[in-house]
């Protein structure tokens, strides 16, 4: 069994509004999985189904190979997009309460809380109320509460929204360490650039449908379109050279800097064969830049959506 | 401890530790006792004036019975017509006119005697006069019937003086009201409990929504568990508060009575009717008065076990129904100001229960309105309790009505709680919009 979570043809609608339509996903164990898509695409609905907050109308969700059931709740940690804590409750009591709701015993919860409080420098806040804390501190506590019961699957919905950069970094490091310890992690976000570097797998969701999923590196390979950025050092006016190149290659854009005597352009090649172009340009000038452009998740998303709309 | 237990515990502690809750808990008894003492004190002052009653006695009975007392004295009229006597009473500014017509025997005379007053007469006045009659009647009847204790109370309970305003309307005064007041006291307690603690449930739901913790929690427990835990926890806090109120208020009253010697009986005797069980208790201690004995007897005759056990049933079911509606409202809105449009329809049946109950049950505990409202589930917890002091069966509530009423309440409870749970489940995750009734209806189908 390699997948922590498998969704098969999951659909959900609210009245006339379809929130999810026929979503099938496989989320491998011990990886970081990005659930990407714009606001309102259906990500949160899907996550709520995993957390058994709502239920799918059709389809099946398997957790660790078994149909999702109430006892799985204690193996899932969830940091919702809309998150908060009881403002007038003391930090320690609150953390204990939430941990016990996840099935931890009081003693275990206390022990682990001590560990985490030390780790994230929350030593003497135990008896303070949440409303006395700064937002950053409250976020740390929220994070601890999410991971305290050592879930097999962690779900973060818009994890970094509302976190200040310093705390966001601390949290990011902690998440990576949890992954190293074997936890599977789902990131859901509409700000794709924020998690792209972390994710090994992604699924793109658009208008309640999955439009793309798989290993990020493979997707990127697939979406590479042989566009290269080239920079040349030249002595004279670049126009003549550019014209000459345009006869042989498909130049997409170009710019020429007089002072620096630098010609930059992007070129679309028919295949991943770069030898011809390199040969040609190295005859003309010194090459100081030659780089394949790799599409970002955002580019891939836009491209896929456009393709879909053109076809549809 | 199960999850439900954890939730109940948290809700209870959150409520009980709340500062305003603590202040309310300990301040209220002082305020209430202060009020009672003030009222008792003012009544005593108010009552210290001496009242003069003119007596027009055309019969040969009771001629020597009108001895002046501390608060009352009598002026005997002679050879006047009733109209003349009334006019002179008014012009002399006396408190009232007692009229005893000609008659062959005491029974007839007593039956057709009237006390005329300007306003409704003070209870202590009527009690005083009634006791004069009663004493005589008692003597006479005892002679006829032979003396046994059952007959004694039987005879004693039989006489009440006719009351009339000068304009001629009869004023009524009866034990029905007292009974309905006692039942009404229980009903009123239910209503207050629902309004206070239902509101707490609602605010607690809103707090979870606005602090955005709700989704964290329902990823661990079912929304229904959370709702139920909240309702139970809050009501336990409420019961704690009520218990503290009752205990400390009675203790305070007792202490004050002990140290300052204020006679609370004064207040009970003077209030037009004794209010609720506390009034009743106060009267036992003051039972020297034969009229108070009469009340005490009636109050003892109330089926207390039935009343208290039905109170518990109606309390639990009624409170669960209403507080789950409150929870659903809390879930549907984002802040308390948006609750107004939904609160009114809830308060309405409660108010209706109290007012319709007080009017219809007082006049006729088995009339169609009283029966209807004591069967209708949203008002039955209040109205049925007003009817129950009359007992079950003959003269009281027919057993089938009680059972039907409880049955309907249970069915409604199941229905309302499942509807409320649906609205709650959807509502707690909805932010930003102020929902309409139409939308709530849509949520039921999600």
In tens, the pLDDT along A139-189 reads 889 999 999 999 999 999 988 877 788 888 888 899 999 999 999 999 998
Residue B50 sits at the chain A interface (C-beta within 8 Å): no
- Note whether B218 contacts A53, CB cutoff 8 Å: yes
Q: Inter-chain contact B221–A101, Cβ cutoff 8 Å?
A: yes
Q: What is the DSSP code string of A24-53?
A: EEEEETTSEEEEE--TTSSHHHHHHHHTTS
Question: Is B433 a residue whose pLDDT tops 80?
Answer: no
Distance between CA atoms of residues B94 and B156, nearest Å: 29
Measured N-to-C along each axis, helices B276-284 and B290-301 cross at an angle, to the nearest 10 degrees, of 130
User: What would the mean pLDDT of A201-215 be, rounded to a whole number?
Assistant: 90
- Strands B162-165, A201-206: pairing is unpaired
- CA-to-CA distance for B243 and B29, rounded, in angstroms? 11
Please judge whether A14 and B216 are an interchain contact, meaning their C-beta atoms are less than 8 angstroms apart. no
The proportion of chain A whose per-residue pLDDT surpasses 90, expressed as a percent, equals 36
Q: A257: part of which helix (H) or strand (E)?
A: strand A250-257
Q: In what order do the strands lie in the sheet with A184-189?
A: A76-79, A153-157, A184-189, A32-36, A201-206, A209-215
B3 touches chain A (CB under 8 A): yes
- For chains A and B, CB pairs below 8 A equal 67
Residues 6 or more apart whose CB falls under 8 angstroms from that of A28 comprise A2, A3, A4, A184, A201
Strand order in the sheet with A17-28: A17-28, A3-14, A58-63, A66-67
Determine the average pLDDT of the residues in A90-117: 92
Burial label for B240, CB within 10 Å (0-12, 13-18, 19+), is middle
B37 token code pair: 């003492």
Task: Say what the alpha-carbon torsion angle A219, A223, A226, A232 is, to the nearest 10 degrees.
Answer: -80
* Helix/strand/coil for A305: helix
At residue A222, the pLDDT reads: 85
Of the candidates A70, A86, A146, which has its C-beta nearest B213's C-beta?
A: A86
Q: Could you tell me how far CA B49 lies from the centroid of its own chain?
A: 30
How far apart, in Å, are the Cα atoms of B244 and each of A226, B85, B249, B255? Answer: 80, 55, 8, 16
> Edge-to-edge strand order for the sheet containing B51-57?
B72-77, B51-57, B96-100, B114-117, B162-165, B170-171
Q: Which residues of B touch A142 (CB under 8 A)?
A: 216
B215 neighbourhood in chain A, CB within 8 Å? 53, 78, 80, 82-83
**3-class DSSP state of A234:** coil
C-alpha span between B193 and B84 (Å, rounded) = 55
Residue-level pLDDT at B272:
40
Q: Is the pLDDT of residue B101 over 90?
A: no
Q: What single DSSP character describes residue A139?
A: H
B299 pLDDT more than 90? no
Task: Give me B194's structure tokens.
Answer: 């629902």
Q: How confident is the model at residue B366 (pLDDT cuts 50, 70, 90)?
A: confident
Position B153 scores a pLDDT of: 56
Q: CA-based Rg of chain A, rounded to a whole angstrom?
A: 25
Structure tokens that stand for A18 in this block: 């379809």
Assess whether pLDDT exceeds 70 at residue B308.
yes
Highest mean pLDDT among A9-13, A222-226, B268-272: A9-13
By C-alpha distance, which of B357, B32, B39 is closest to B186? B357
How confident is the model over B294-319, as a mean pLDDT?
Answer: 80
- On average, the pLDDT of chain A sits at 88
Q: Which residues lie across from A228 on neighbouring strands?
A: A267, A292
pLDDT band of B275, cuts 50, 70, 90: very low
The structure tokens listed for B167 are 């304009």
| Distance between CA atoms of residues B58 and B77, nearest Å | 9
Given this model, what pLDDT does residue B46 score? 66
- Of A21-30, B112-121, B367-376, where does the model show the most confidence? A21-30
pLDDT at A109 over 90: yes
What is the pLDDT, as a whole number, of residue B281?
A: 40
Q: Is B215's CB within 8 Å of A83's CB?
A: yes
pLDDT (average), residues B377-387? 87
**B35-66 pLDDT per residue, tens:** 888 887 887 776 666 778 888 888 877 777 77
Q: Looking at chain A, which residue has its C-alpha nearest residue B226?
A: A101
**Residue from A172, A156, A121 nearest A34 by CA:** A156
| Nearest-angstrom CA–CA distance, B157 and B291 | 9
Distance CA B419, CA B441 (A): 10
**C-beta neighbour count of B128 within 10 angstroms:** 18
Does B105 reach chain A within 8 Å, measured CB to CB? no
| pLDDT value, residue B279 | 39
The number of residues in chain B equals 446
CB-nearest partner of B3 from A76, A84, A101: A101
Contacting B residues, span 221-240, partner chain A, CB-CB under 8 Å: 221-223
Phi, then psi, of A182 in degrees rounded to 5: 110, 5
Give the separation between CA B186 and CA B168, rounded to whole angstroms: 36
The pLDDT of B73-77, averaged and rounded, is 83
Lowest-confidence segment of A101-110, B130-139, B259-268, B309-318 by average pLDDT: B259-268
Residue located via tokens 């957790």: A63
Beta bridge pairs of residue B75? B54
What 3-state DSSP class applies to A59?
A: strand
pLDDT at B276 > cutoff 50: no
Distance of alpha carbon A135 from the chain centroid: 24
Q: How far apart are CA A72 and CA A55, in angstroms?
A: 14
Candidates A53, A54, A68, A109, partner chain B, best to mutate (most B CBs within 10 A): A53
Report how far residue B223's alpha carbon sits from residue B214's, in angstroms, rounded to the nearest whole number: 9
In angstroms, rounded to a whole number, what is the distance separating the alpha carbons of residues B86 and A275?
130
CA-derived radius of gyration, chain B: 28
Contacts of B14 in chain A (CB under 8 A): 86, 88-89
B4 neighbourhood in chain A, CB within 8 Å:
none
DSSP single-letter state for residue A270:
S
The Cα–Cα gap between A10 and B246 comes to 56
The region of weakest confidence among A96-100, B122-126, B233-237 is B122-126
pLDDT of amino acid B149:
52
Q: Collect all residues of chain A within an 8 Å Cβ-Cβ radius of residue B10.
A: 97
Residues A249 and A227: beta-carbon distance below 8 Å:
no
Interface of B with A in 413-442 (CB under 8 A): 429, 431, 442
CA B427/CA B342 separation, integer angstroms: 14
DSSP one-letter code for A108: H
DSSP secondary structure letters along A272-292 = S--HHHHHHHHHHSEEEEEEE
**pLDDT digit string (tens) for B194-223?**
888 899 999 999 988 888 898 889 888 988
| Contact state of A80 with B219 under an 8 Å Cβ cutoff | yes
Which residues 6+ apart lie within 8 Å of B391 measured at CB?
A: B302, B303, B306, B397
Q: In the Cβ-directed half-sphere of A105, how many Cα atoms lie within 13 Å?
A: 2
User: CA dihedral in degrees (A8, A14, A18, A22; nearest 10)?
Assistant: 10
Residues of chain A contacting B439 with CB distance shorter than 8 Å = none
pLDDT of B150 strictly over 70: no
Q: How far is CA B284 from CA A42, B59, B277, B293, in A?
A: 70, 36, 11, 8
Region of residue A11 (phi > 0: left; psi between -120 and 50: alpha; otherwise: beta): beta
Cβ neighbour number for residue B296 with a 10 Å cutoff: 19
SS (HEC) of chain B:
CCHHHHHHHHHHHHHHHCHHHHHHHHHHHHHHHHHHHHHHHHHHHHHCCCEEEEEEECCCCCCCCCCCCCCEEEEEECCCCHHHHHHHHHHHCCCEEEEECCCCCHHHHHHCCEEEECCCCCHHHHHHHHHHHHHHHHHHHHHHHCCCHHHHHHHHHHCCCEEEECCCCEECCCHHHHHHHHHHHHHHHHHHHHHHHHHHHHHHHHHHHHCCCHHHHHCCCCHHHHHHHHHHHHHHHHHHHHHHHHHHHHHHHHHHHHHHCCCHHHHHHHCCCCCHHHHHHHHHCCCCCHHHHHHHHHHHHCCHHHHHHHHHHHHHHHHHHHHHHHHHHHHHCCCHHHHHHHHHHHHHHHHHHHHHHHHHHHHCCCCHHHHHHHHCCCCHHHHHHHHHHHCECCCCECHHHHHHHHHHHHHHHHHHHHHHHHHHHHHCCCCCCCCCHHHHHHHCCC
Residue-level pLDDT at B168: 47
Do residues B53 and B94 lie in contact, with contact meaning Cβ atoms separated by under 8 Å?
yes
> Has residue B285 got a pLDDT over 50?
no
- Sorted by sequence, the CB contacts under 8 Å of residue A71 that are 6+ apart come out as none
How many other β-carbons are positioned within 10 Å of the β-carbon of residue B114?
Answer: 19
pLDDT at B11: 92
Q: Which of A86, A96, A135 to mutate to test the interface with B (most CBs of B within 10 A)?
A: A86
């Amino acid at each position: 069994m390699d997948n922590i979570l498998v969704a098969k043809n999951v659909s959900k609608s609210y009245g006339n509004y379809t929130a999810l339509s026929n979503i099938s996903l496989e989320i491998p164990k011990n990886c970081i999985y990005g659930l990407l898509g714009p606001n309102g695409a259906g990500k949160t609905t899907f996550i709520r189904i995993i957390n058994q907050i709502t239920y799918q109308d059709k389809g099946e969700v398997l957790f660790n190979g078994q149909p999702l059931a109430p006892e799985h709740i204690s193996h899932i940690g969830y940091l919702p997009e809309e998150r908060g804590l009881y403002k007038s409750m003391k930090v320690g009591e609150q953390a204990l309460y939430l941990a016990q709701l996840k099935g931890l015993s009081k003693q275990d919860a206390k022990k682990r809380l001590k560990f985490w409080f030390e780790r994230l420098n929350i030593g003497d806040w135990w008896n303070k109320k949440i409303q006395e804390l700064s937002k950053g501190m409250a976020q740390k506590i929220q994070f601890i509460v999410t991971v305290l019961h050592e879930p097999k699957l962690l779900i973060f919905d818009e994890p970094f929204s509302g976190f200040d950069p310093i705390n966001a970094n601390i949290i990011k490091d902690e998440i990576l360490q949890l992954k190293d310890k074997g936890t599977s992690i789902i990131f859901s976000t509409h700000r794709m650039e924020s998690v792209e570097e972390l994710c090994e797998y992604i699924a793109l969701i658009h208008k309640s449908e999955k439009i793309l999923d798989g290993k990020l590196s493979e997707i990127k390979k697939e979406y590479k379109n042989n566009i290269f950025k080239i920079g040349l050092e030249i002595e004279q006016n670049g126009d003549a050279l550019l014209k000459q190149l345009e006869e042989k290659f498909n130049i997409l854009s170009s710019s020429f800097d007089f002072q620096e005597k630098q010609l930059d352009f992007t070129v679309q090649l028919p295949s991943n064969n770069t030898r011809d172009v390199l040969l040609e340009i190295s005859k003309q000038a010194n090459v100081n830049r030659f780089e394949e452009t790799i599409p970002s998740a955002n580019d891939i998303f836009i491209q896929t959506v456009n393709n879909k709309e053109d076809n549809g | 401890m199960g999850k439900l237990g954890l939730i109940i515990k948290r809700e209870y502690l959150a409520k009980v530790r709340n500062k305003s809750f603590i202040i309310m808990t300990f301040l209220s008894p002082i305020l209430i006792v202060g009020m009672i003492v003030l009222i008792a004190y003012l009544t005593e002052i108010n009552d210290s004036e001496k009242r003069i009653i003119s007596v027009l006695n055309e019969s040969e009975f009771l001629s020597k019975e009108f001895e002046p007392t501390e608060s009352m004295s009598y002026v005997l009229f002679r050879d006047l017509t009733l109209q003349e006597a009334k006019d002179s009473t008014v012009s002399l500014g006396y408190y009232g006119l007692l009229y005893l017509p000609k008659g062959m025997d005491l029974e007839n005379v007593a039956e057709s005697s009237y006390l005329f007053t300007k306003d409704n007469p003070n209870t202590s006045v009527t009690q005083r006069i009634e006791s004069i009659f009663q004493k005589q009647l008692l003597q006479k009847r005892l002679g006829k019937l032979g003396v046994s204790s059952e007959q004694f109370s039987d005879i004693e309970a039989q006489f009440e003086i006719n009351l009339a305003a000068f304009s001629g309307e009869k004023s009524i005064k009866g034990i029905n009201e007292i009974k309905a007041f006692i039942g009404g006291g229980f009903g009123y307690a239910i209503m207050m409990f629902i309004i206070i603690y239902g509101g707490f449930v609602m605010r607690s739901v809103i707090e979870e929504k606005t602090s955005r913790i709700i989704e964290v929690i329902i990823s661990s427990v079912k929304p229904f568990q959370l709702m139920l835990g909240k309702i139970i926890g809050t009501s336990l806090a409420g019961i704690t508060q009520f218990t503290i109120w009752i205990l400390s208020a009675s203790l305070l009253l007792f202490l004050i009575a002990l140290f300052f010697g204020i006679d609370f009986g004064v207040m009970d005797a003077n209030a037009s009717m004794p209010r609720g069980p506390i009034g009743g208790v106060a009267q036992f201690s003051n039972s020297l008065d034969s009229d108070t004995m009469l009340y005490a007897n009636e109050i003892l005759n109330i089926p207390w076990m039935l009343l208290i056990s039905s109170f518990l049933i109606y309390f639990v079911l009624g409170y669960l129904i209403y507080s789950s509606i409150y929870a659903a409202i809390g879930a549907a809105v984002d802040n308390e100001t948006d609750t107004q449009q939904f609160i009114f329809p809830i308060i309405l049946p409660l108010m209706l229960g109290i007012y319709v109950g007080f009017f219809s049950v007082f006049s006729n505990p088995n009339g169609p309105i009283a029966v209807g409202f004591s069967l209708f589930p949203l008002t039955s917890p209040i109205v049925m309790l007003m009817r129950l002091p009359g007992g079950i069966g003959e003269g009281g509530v027919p057993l089938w009505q009680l059972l039907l009423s409880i049955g309907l309440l249970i069915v409604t409870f199941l229905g309302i709680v499942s509807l409320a749970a649906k609205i709650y489940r959807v509502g707690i995750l909805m932010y930003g919009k102020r929902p309409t009734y139409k939308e709530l209806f849509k949520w039921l189908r999600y």
